[in-house]
C-alpha cells in the first residue's frame, strides 16, 4: 500500500486529503492520523472513513471523547472545519459505526466508518519503510469506542 495526499482544489500532493493505492489500485476511502512516532492508516471500501489517535487524556466534547469526535468528523469529510463542541456532534456520531482500536499504552485510537454494517478491523504492524515489520497482523472485532478519561 502506498499513501499520499491530494488536494481536491489545486491537485497538489503536498497537502490535502489522504489517498492510498493498494496493489496499485486506488483505495476508495482513506484516513490517516499521527501521534508522536505512531501513524495509523485506515483503508476501506465500506464507506467514508475517519481514524484518530491521541493521548488517553484528550479532552471530550459534549461527553464525546476527542478521538471519537475527530474520527467521526473525518469520516463526514469536514474534519475540524465542523466545530466539535457545536450542536449536532452526537447525531454525526450516531450515523457512524465507531470502533475502539487497540493502541500503545498512554494512547487511545478510534475508527469511524459511515456504513450500516459493523466494520471488521485488521491491524498490520509495519516498519518505517512500510514493509511488514513483525509479520504480525491481527483481526479485531468491533468494540465499543474508547471512554473519556480525565480532560487536559
Q: What is the pLDDT of residues 47-101, one digit of tens each?
A: 999 999 999 888 777 778 889 999 999 998 887 777 777 677 888 888 899 999 9
DSSP alpha helices (H): ranges in the chain? 66-75, 89-94
d(CA 87, CA 66): 15
Q: What percent of the chain has pLDDT over 90?
A: 21
pLDDT mean over 148-152: 35
d(CA 29, CA 47): 7
pTM: 0.72
**Please, how many CA atoms are within 13 Å of residue 30, restricted to the half-sphere of its CB?**
19
- What residues does 119 pair with on adjacent strands? none
Contact by Cβ (8 Å): 20, 41 = yes
Q: What are the boundaries of each domain within the chain?
A: 33-140
Distances (CA, A) of 81 to 9, 77, 84, 138: 16, 9, 9, 34
Region for residue 109 given its phi and psi (left: phi exceeds 0; alpha: psi -120 to 50; beta: otherwise): beta
Amino acid at each position: 500500500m502506498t499513501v499520499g495526499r491530494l488536494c481536491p482544489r489545486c491537485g497538489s500532493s503536498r497537502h490535502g486529503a489522504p489517498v492510498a493505492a493498494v496493489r496499485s489500485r486506488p483505495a476508495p476511502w482513506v484516513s490517516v492520523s499521527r501521534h508522536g512516532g505512531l501513524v495509523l492508516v485506515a483503508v476501506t471500501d465500506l464507506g467514508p472513513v475517519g481514524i484518530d489517535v491521541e493521548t488517553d487524556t484528550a479532552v471530550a466534547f459534549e461527553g464525546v471523547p476527542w478521538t471519537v469526535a475527530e474520527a467521526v468528523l473525518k469520516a463526514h469529510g469536514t474534519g475540524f472545519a465542523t466545530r466539535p463542541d457545536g450542536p449536532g456532534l452526537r447525531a454525526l456520531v450516531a450515523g457512524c459505526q465507531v470502533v475502539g482500536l487497540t493502541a500503545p499504552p498512554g494512547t487511545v485510537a478510534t475508527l469511524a466508518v459511515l456504513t450500516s454494517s459493523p466494520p471488521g478491523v485488521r491491524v498490520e504492524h509495519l516498519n518505517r519503510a512500510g514493509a511488514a515489520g513483525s509479520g504480525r497482523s491481527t483481526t479485531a472485532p468491533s468494540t465499543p469506542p474508547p471512554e473519556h478519561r480525565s480532560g487536559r
